[in-house]
Amino acid sequence: MVSVPPHVSVVIPAYNSERTLYACLSAVYGQTHPPVEVIVIDDASTDRTREIARRFPVRLLQTPVNSGPAAARNRGIKASTGDVVFFVDADCAPTPTAVATALRIMADEPDIDCVHGVYLTEPLYDDGPVEAYRLLHAHYWRVRNTGRVRTAIFALCAVRRSVFDDIGFFDERLRASEDVELSDRMADRHGIWLSADVTCRHDDDSRLWPMLRKQFGRSQMLVPVAVRERGPAGLRANRPGGVLAAAAVLGTLPLAVLTPVLLVLPGLALTWFVVADPGLADFVRRERGTAFLALFLGLHFLVHLAIVCGGTVGGVRFLLDSDFGPTHRLAPGTSR
């Protein structure tokens, strides 16, 4: 009996994506396993996103107000018809075999219902050292965790439609960590695989302050999502030791007001941070050299400070506001 290849629906949430959407759609239509449909959900963009989408034979959906990626993806899922929904962020350009490779992994591993991939270190557009930092780190921590995992990152991700029939959709109250929350509901009943062979080029943050501001905002969901996780912790982009070291720098630095001798404490914490992830440092040195490694570690430290500050603010908000964070939604058939 000849098996029929799965029909694939590509779902692309887009918000003010005029810079990258043409490259994204060109890559999607260049797949070796072509999708049966491509659905672009314009999340109330104010730029030329819709105009660019209409240059391709996509199905274009529009939201009346900006609602975030969770709501946009949900709308795309409900409008799609494929056996597999392949999510691509509008700032990603998947390599030609991305869809085919994800399908092959699903075929080889019948209990795997979700396959997601990694960013290449080569950017979609080269915008300088901040973007190089972001892509090197994003590539490294994903490749470090390849294989069977408990977390899916939906920037480049294939999911069987049956998963959504079973566990429901993205939590639309979340504008960050929505993929972590959904995959937490998924992981106990549907296998998740992170593959270094499913790849894309990504247009990442390229300016320091917007990058830190985004990290601060996203980190506010770390505590609420972690508290409501129903299983073991999923993927983490940063080593716990590095996060604790950055927190220790912030916590001990004010002690220097008492006496300069106490500057040794934040100095020790900073040293702890530098050595917290030797594998990452070695990877960056091999990719870009020692001089870039120094810049990388400086940017990495600032990002960790944003994580600590955002996580602290989010934790306080979670304690004071019962509506802050994920909705208490469980998969059908599970108990609280």
Residue 191, strand partner residues: 112
pLDDT of residue 1: 43
- Summarize the confidence of residues 278-301 as an average pLDDT: 97
- Summarize the confidence of residues 87-96 as an average pLDDT: 98
| Number of Cβ atoms within 10 Å of the Cβ of 297 | 18
Q: What SS3 class is residue 6? A: coil
Q: Give, in order, the Cα–Cα distances in Å from 52 to each of 14, 42, 65, 111, 274.
A: 11, 11, 19, 38, 44
Q: Write out pLDDT tens, residues 191-227.
A: 999 999 999 999 999 999 999 999 999 999 888 888 8
Q: Write out pLDDT tens, residues 116-163.
A: 999 999 999 999 999 999 999 999 999 999 999 999 999 999 999 999
Tokens coding 199: 């790849």
pLDDT of residue 336: 29
CA dihedral 168, 90, 149, 67 (to 10 degrees): -40
pLDDT of 2 higher than 70 = no
The answer to whether the beta carbons of residues 179 and 221 sit under 8 Å apart is no
Q: All domains of the chain, ordered by start, with CATH?
A: 8-205 (3.90.550.10)
The answer to whether the beta carbons of residues 268 and 244 sit under 8 Å apart is no
Tokens coding 333: 């058939």
User: pTM for the whole thing?
Assistant: 0.92
Q: Find the DSSP H helices in 208-289.
A: 208-219, 222-227, 240-252, 264-275, 278-288
Q: Write out pLDDT tens, residues 225-260.
A: 888 776 666 678 899 999 999 999 999 999 877 888
% the chain with pLDDT above 90 = 83
